[in-house]
Amino acid sequence: MIDKDDIRAAVGSGLISEAQAASLTALAHSRTGARQDLVAGDEPFELFKGFNEIFIVIGLLILATGWSAVTGLNIASSAVGYQGQVVMTAGITAALIWGLSEYFIRRRRMVAPAIALSIFWVGNAAVGLGAHFAQVFMVAQEDFSSLTLPLALTVLATAVFWFRFRVPFAMALIAVGGFALAVLIGANQAGTPESFSDLFYLSGDGPFAYITLIVGFVVFAAAMFFDMSDPHRVTRRSAQGFWLHVVAAPALVNTIALSLLEQDNTSSQMLLFAILILFALIAIVIDRRSFLIAAIGYTVTLALIVFEGDGAAMTILVLGVFLVALGAFWASIRAAVLRLFSGVLPLDRLPPSHSNS
């Protein structure tokens, strides 16, 4: 039996090309029914391979809940110092998560359990490292300087987990952790903002809006590194890029959208729509619907939650029509765009066009 690792090895050794590997993988999946309904050129997306994975994830959630309850009761009734108990429990929990990951990720290669275990690993690392390094009394006084080290170590621990298990979702957690670390460092330097929304106003004081944009560009560059190394999307590098795009798009659009929606006038809404058109063009070129839907979805969320829909109803309506039309004719539009920029874009590093028009 030839599995995905054999195909990746064949591509890496030069025995077959990425295009041949993509065709072979699509044929194998079609024969097993996994991608029978996936149109050529569609963006691969997989959260679980079957209901057995959902079954295992539910079991892991119940196991985590029971473990947290039991260890929490032990910590509360222990005569040993609270901080030491939390750190020791986190260490034992980390060993258990690692062991489960070796079985479900490395051996069984399951998708949904890999995502769940990644979240458990990050949460446990944050609790354990926070308990050891953070100063509770400083946090209570809105002094978050003691959180920088544990947060940085949590991101490092997540990177170690990714390096071992190569879980694509863990890459998104690294990006989110890096963003939180950058904002925290900015808060320690410029002072805590008065409200959460002040983090992202270009008109506001402090470096937070620019930190968001910089982090967004860095994450997008990392996503494109993975994407361009696997344009036919036959390896896990493509999945790494997918999750990084999901993080990069909201980070890039956040500051711009929040600042423009705050102005609540026709010109600002038109400018916002023009910027989202630019995002759509980028998404079409790199063939990432996830990048565009994350950007527009986050914009709509800002309009509904932060501004409670005031003054943004027409913008949301137009965005909805735009997304539906774009989704219906994505392949044809992308083929036309690639032809238009064929002399500028590195087409050999981008996913091929699959339009029949």
Domain count, the chain: 3
Does residue 287 lie in a domain region? Answer: yes
Q: Is it the case that residue 159 has pLDDT exceeding 90?
A: yes
Whether 323 and 219 share a structural domain: yes
Query: Is 229 in the same domain as 119?
Result: no
Q: Please check whether residue 133 is in contact with residue 146, taking contact to mean a CB–CB distance below 8 angstroms.
A: yes
pLDDT at residue 311 in the model: 56
Is residue 114 within 8 Å of 166, Cβ to Cβ?
A: no
Please check whether residues 25 and 62 belong to one and the same domain. Answer: no
Same domain (yes/no): 33, 73: no
Average pLDDT on 196-214 reads: 66
Q: Tell me the two tokens of residue 300.
A: 């709509």
Q: What is the pLDDT of residues 78-105, one digit of tens each?
A: 655 667 788 888 999 999 999 999 999 9
Residues 111 and 255 placed together within one structural domain of the fold: no
CA distance 187 to 148: 10
Q: What's the pLDDT band for 35 if we cut at 50, 70, 90?
A: very low
Confidence category of residue 33, pLDDT binned at 50, 70, 90: very low
pLDDT at 78: 62
Average of per-residue pLDDT across 110-135: 91
2 and 99 assigned to the same domain: no
Assigned domain for 53 exists:
yes
**In a shared domain, residues 66 and 157:** yes
Residue 215: give the domain boundaries.
Answer: 193-357
Task: Assess whether 204 and 325 both reside in one domain.
Answer: yes
Tokens of 21: 């590997």
- Judged by average pLDDT, the poorest of 32-41, 75-84, 145-154, 302-311 is 32-41
Total Cβ atoms within 10 A of residue 76: 9
* Residue 175: inside a domain: no
List the alpha helices (DSSP H) in the chain: 4-13, 18-32, 51-77, 82-101, 112-133, 136-140, 148-165, 168-190, 208-228, 236-263, 266-286, 289-301, 313-328, 330-340
Structure tokens that stand for 39 in this block: 């149109």
Which of the listed ranges 76-85, 144-153, 230-239 does the model predict with the highest average pLDDT? Answer: 144-153
Is the predicted pLDDT of residue 335 greater than 90, yes or no? no
* Tens-digit pLDDT profile for residues 280-313: 899 889 888 888 888 888 777 766 766 565 556 6
Q: Is the pLDDT of residue 12 over 90?
A: no
User: What are the distances in angstroms from CA 83 to CA 68, 77, 95, 136, 148?
Assistant: 16, 13, 19, 11, 18
- Whether residues 331 and 198 fall in one domain: yes
Report the distance separating Cα 75 and Cα 63, nearest Å: 18
Within a domain: 170 = no
In a domain, 181, yes or no: no
- The sign of the torsion formed by the CA atoms of 25, 161, 287, 37 equals positive
Please say whether the beta carbons of 291 and 216 come within 8 A: no
Residues 159 and 282 in one domain: no
**Cα–Cα distances in Å, from 100 out to 48, 120, 131, 348?**
17, 11, 24, 40
Comparing 14-28, 37-51, 85-99, 334-348, the range with the smallest average pLDDT is 37-51
Let me know whether 34 and 50 are in one domain. Answer: no
For residue 353, being part of any structural domain is answered with yes
User: Does the residue 171 lie in any domain?
Assistant: no
- Give the model's pLDDT for residue 305: 65
Asked if 73 and 151 sit in the same domain, the reply is yes
pLDDT at residue number 29: 60
Residue found under tokens 């460092």: 185
Q: Which of the 8 DSSP states describes residue 357?
A: -
